[in-house]
Amino acid sequence: MQDLIEDVLAAVPFIDMHTHLFAPEFGALGLWGIDELLTYHYLEAELFRFSAIHPHTYQAMTKSEQADLIWQVLFRENTPVSEATRGVIAVLQALGLQSDTPDLSEIREYFRAQELEPHITRVFELAGIDKVVMTNDPLNDTEAALWREGPKRDPRFEAALRLDRILNDWPDHFENLSKQGFRVQRECGGWTAFEVRRFLDGWCERMNPLYMAVSLPDDFEYPGSEPRNKLLTEAVLPACHEHGIPLALMMGVRRQVNPMIQLAGDGSGRSDLRALEHLCREFPNNRFLVSVLSRENQHELCVYARKFSNLMPFGCWWFLNNPSIVEEVTRERIEMLGMSFIPQHSDARILEQVIYKWRNTRRTLAPLLTGSYRLLAEDGGHVKRATIEKDVRRLFRGNLESFTRPRVSAPS
Ligand code: FIX
Ligand code: ZN
């Protein structure tokens, strides 16, 4: 049975519903290659555990000096057994590159020889994916300018309209909207909600996003009188409803618990999911994609998903994307939700990471699905290849496609 399941998992191309990758037309915003792979913030966090280097000294180094140091410390002096270090080894193996090299010269030579678009095609094939969803920030000036140029977008890259600056840091960013002619106020009074709605409508026209998204701190509360709640209920949710797209809530992140290590400095906290309960109940015509960062929130998220069909749990996010936790979370989701959830996204920041992140997901899912189907067979159910294929397509394509706009390409 497991061989059959592994075969089906390998044969079905997945949609990667949350990444920080960019289509080739976004130029330098898209990260790829060995120096980016090695300076991934997950590896930076691990470097500071193994090396006495001060973060400020590291941050003053060039990108290639940083990569050389991480290669030396995490891959040469120590054993790359963590998920993030083993991932780099897996990428090199998949690309046919040696990983026992004392320095990076040969590996850098390989990446220098690659042309981006065929390289993307090869990496997607190795990862078993045919579409990714980007994270697009309309208040990132560089990215916004590229969108305004209106590049023809590579159809393998869907957009997601990211709202963190608007919803979480309004006082620091409202002037960016008022400079563009939107009548908005720091205290969210007057025409603010109406104008934020107009701003979102404009970006929906430009980006055609699959969904809107926001990450929320562990102390997020709803209902509440914060500017975030006013903008959420009076601008974001009405806009999502009108454009027929879900809102992705990524809950439980504690930003910059250690600012000294920059992007590597974010942490995790348990959320009060009653906020989610209120939102799903008060906005029954909105759909919510939800990922929670705390392991302690996972079971109650499954319970809420049984209460609200407008709630779609997705992914084992960030610090949860480790086989020991993916296994626990996915088992309880199958036991409580059947196949009505989205098991994983890669959260890849660097192109080639999709290779190891999706290899790990398939490797963890195979025995899990085998166990579920074995139980079904023992209890009298009938499991054929077609059953398994239908379920895998649903988990890694269909649930997203049916929960977002129908235009997401039909399963290939
Ligand atoms: O908010 C997010 O989209 C997070 O995934 C990122 O902020 C985080 O840095 C990340 O890439 C985790 O994997
Ligand atoms: Zn992310």
Phi/psi at 299 (5° precision):
-70, -40
Provide the residue range defining the domain that includes 288. Answer: 2-32+135-403
Looking at the predicted structure, is the pLDDT value of residue 408 above 80?
no
Q: Compute, in angstroms, the gap from residue 215 CA to the centroid of ligand 2.
A: 9
- Asked if 167 contacts 228 with a C-beta cutoff of 8 angstroms, the reply is yes
What pLDDT score does 405 carry?
74
Q: Compute, in angstroms, the gap from residue 233 CA to the centroid of ligand 1.
A: 24
Looking at the predicted structure, is the pLDDT value of residue 406 above 70?
no
Q: What is the mean pLDDT of residues 87-101?
A: 97
Looking at the predicted structure, is the pLDDT value of residue 63 above 50?
yes
**Ligand 1 pocket: which of 289, 318, 319 to mutate (most atoms within 8 A of CB):** 318
The reply to whether 254 falls in a domain is yes
Cα-trace Rg, the chain: 22
pLDDT band at 152 (very low <50, low <70, confident <90, very high): confident
Alpha helices (H) in 71-153, listed in sequence order: 83-94, 105-112, 116-127, 141-149
- Can you spell out the DSSP letters for 305-349? HHH-TTEEEB---GGG-SHHHHHHHHHHHHHHHTT-SB------S
What pLDDT score does 388 carry?
98
The reply to whether 119 falls in a domain is no
The reply to whether 48 falls in a domain is no
Q: How far is CA 156 from CA 25, 124, 126, 357, in A?
A: 12, 10, 15, 18
- Give the whole-angstrom CA distance, residue 135 versus residue 215: 11
The reply to whether 170 falls in a domain is yes
Mutual angle of helices 353-378 and 2-11, in 10-degree steps:
140
Neighbours of 130 (CB within 10 A): 18
DSSP tally for the chain: helices H, then strands E: 20, 9
Q: What is the mean pLDDT of residues 308-322?
A: 98
The reply to whether 60 falls in a domain is no
Among all chains, which residue has been given the structure tokens 């290779």? Answer: 355
Identify the residue whose C-alpha is closest to ligand 1 atom 2. Answer: 215
Q: Compute, in angstroms, the gap from residue 347 CA to the centroid of ligand 1.
A: 7
The reply to whether 67 falls in a domain is no
369, burial (CB in 10 Å: exposed 0-12, middle 13-18, buried 19+): buried
Phi and psi based region of residue 9 (left: phi greater than 0; alpha: psi -120 to 50; beta: remaining) = alpha
Q: Could you tell me the two tokens for 341?
A: 């959830």
- Give the whole-angstrom CA distance, residue 227 versus residue 145: 27
Identify the residue whose C-alpha is closest to ligand 1 atom 9. Answer: 263
The reply to whether 142 falls in a domain is yes
pTM for the complete prediction?
0.97
- Give the whole-angstrom CA distance, residue 289 versus residue 403: 8
Q: Compute, in angstroms, the gap from residue 318 CA to the centroid of ligand 1.
A: 7
The reply to whether 100 falls in a domain is no
Looking at the predicted structure, is the pLDDT value of residue 237 above 80?
yes
**Which residues have C-beta atoms less than 6 Å from ligand 1?**
20, 135, 215, 250, 263, 318, 347, 349
What pLDDT score does 151 carry?
77
Q: Compute, in angstroms, the gap from residue 386 CA to the centroid of ligand 1.
A: 35
3-state secondary structure (DSSP) of residue 129: strand
Looking at the predicted structure, is the pLDDT value of residue 90 above 80?
yes
Q: What is the mean pLDDT of residues 21-40?
A: 98
Q: Look at the chain and report how many structural domains it folds into.
A: 1
Per-chain mean pLDDT for the chain: 97
Residue 84: nearest ligand to its CA? Answer: 1
Looking at the predicted structure, is the pLDDT value of residue 263 above 50?
yes
Identity (one letter) of the amino acid at 131? K
Looking at the predicted structure, is the pLDDT value of residue 411 above 80?
no
- Residue 193: CATH number of its domain: 3.20.20.140
